C-alpha cells in the first residue's frame, strides 16, 4: 500500500494509539485534539483545517454525534475532492448518516466505522471495525482497518456500522447484568464462584461476559475484576451505548425491553451509585451487596 497522508481528529484514549499505529506503519499522520493531546509519530496541528487540508484520508474518533456533526462540517470544507472520511466514533445512526451525506455531497467517500476491542485493542492493533458506506469507500478504508485492527466487516450502507455496534453493545450490557445477577444469586445459594464458572462457561449459559470477561475476581481469564474494576470498558460508556440503542429503537419503533431495562440499571449505577469511573462489570459487587427489594 502506498504511503498516505492521514488527518486524525480526536487523540484520546482510543484515537491516540490508533493514530500511532498508522504512523508506525509508514503513513504520514497529522493529528488534532482540542485537549492538545498527541500520539507517537503523529505531527500535531493547531486546528482542524491544518489537520485535514490535502489529506488523502481523514479519521475521527469523537465523544458523541453532536461533536461529530460540528467537526465534520468544518473538516469537509477543507478536504480535497475524492478523499476518504472515516468516522470511528460511536454515535447515533442519524448523525452517522448525516455526516456521510454531507461528505458525499462534497465529493468525498465516507465510512462510519465504530470499533470494538477497547483501549487494549486500540494499542495492540486488534480492534474490530463495523463499517457502513459504499463498497468503494470500504475498499479504500480496508487497508487502514487492517493496520488498526484484526477484523473489519462491511455491514451495509451509511449508518450500518453504528447499527451493528449499538445492537452488539445492547446484547453485551444485558448479558453482563444477567451474568452479575447469577453470580450474586450463586453466592447466596452457597455455590462457589469457581464452580459456577466451571459449569456455566461450558454449558448453555456461556457468553463473552462470562467466558472472556468474567466479572468475578480470580475466576476465569484475567479481567478488570482482577484489577479492582478499573475500567477496560467504563460503565459510563456502556450507559452511553445503551442510550444510543434505545434512541435507535424509538426511531424505528422496535420493542427492546431488555435493552431498556439495562439502560435503566446502568443509569442508576453511574448516576446514583458508585459506578462512574468503574468497569461495567462492577455490576457484580453492586448486586452482591443488595437484597431483593
- The beta-strand segments (E) located in 143-222 are 149-156
Q: Which three cell numbers stand for residue 132?
A: 457502513
Q: Which member of 46, 80, 151, 165 is catalytic? A: 165
As a 3-state breakdown, the chain gives helix, strand, coil percent values, each rounded to 5, of 50, 15, 35
How far apart CA 166 and CA 133 sit, in angstroms, is 17
Is 276 designated active site? no
Q: Which of 142, 136, 151, 63 is nearest to 103 (CA)?
A: 136
Helix, strand, or coil here: 128? strand
Q: Which residue has the cell 448525516?
A: 98
How far apart CA 211 and CA 202 sit, in angstroms, is 9
Question: What does DSSP say about strands 57-60 and 127-133: parallel, antiparallel, or unpaired?
Answer: unpaired
Q: Which of 136, 69, 135 is nearest to 103 (CA)?
A: 69
Burial class (CB in 10 A: 0-12, 13-18, 19+), 14: buried
The catalytic residues are 165
Amino acid at each position: 500500500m502506498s504511503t498516505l497522508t492521514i488527518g486524525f481528529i480526536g487523540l484520546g484514549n482510543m484515537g491516540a494509539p490508533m493514530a500511532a499505529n498508522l504512523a508506525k506503519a509508514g503513513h504520514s499522520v497529522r493529528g488534532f485534539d482540542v485537549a492538545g493531546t498527541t500520539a507517537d509519530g503523529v505531527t500535531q496541528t493547531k486546528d482542524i483545517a491544518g489537520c485535514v487540508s490535502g489529506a488523502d484520508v481523514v479519521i475521527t474518533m469523537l465523544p458523541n454525534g453532536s461533536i461529530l456533526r460540528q467537526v465534520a462540517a468544518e473538516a469537509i470544507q477543507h478536504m480535497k475532492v475524492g478523499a476518504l472520511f472515516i468516522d470511528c466514533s460511536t454515535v447515533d445512526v442519524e448523525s452517522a448518516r448525516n455526516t456521510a451525506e454531507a461528505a458525499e455531497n462534497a465529493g468525498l467517500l465516507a465510512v462510519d466505522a465504530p470499533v470494538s476491542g477497547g483501549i487494549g485493542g486500540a494499542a495492540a492493533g486488534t480492534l474490530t471495525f463495523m463499517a457502513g458506506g459504499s463498497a468503494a469507500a470500504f475498499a479504500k478504508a480496508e487497508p487502514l482497518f487492517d493496520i488498526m485492527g484484526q477484523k473489519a466487516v462491511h455491514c451495509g450502507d451509511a449508518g450500518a456500522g453504528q447499527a451493528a455496534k449499538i445492537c452488539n453493545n445492547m446484547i453485551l450490557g444485558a448479558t453482563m447484568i444477567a451474568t452479575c445477577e447469577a453470580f450474586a444469586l450463586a453466592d447466596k445459594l452457597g455455590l462457589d464462584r469457581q464452580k459456577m464458572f466451571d459449569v456455566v462457561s461450558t454449558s448453555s449459559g456461556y457468553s463473552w461476559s462470562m467466558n472472556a470477561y468474567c466479572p468475578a475476581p480470580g475466576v476465569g481469564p484475567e479481567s478488570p475484576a482482577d484489577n479492582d474494576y478499573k475500567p477496560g470498558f467504563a460503565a459510563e460508556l456502556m450507559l452511553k451505548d445503551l442510550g444510543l440503542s434505545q434512541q435507535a429503537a424509538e426511531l424505528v419503533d422496535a420493542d427492546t425491553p431488555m435493552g431498556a431495562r439495562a439502560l435503566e440499571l446502568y443509569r442508576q449505577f453511574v448516576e446514583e451509585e458508585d459506578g462512574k469511573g468503574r468497569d461495567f462489570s462492577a455490576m457484580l459487587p453492586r448486586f452482591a451487596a443488595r437484597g431483593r427489594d
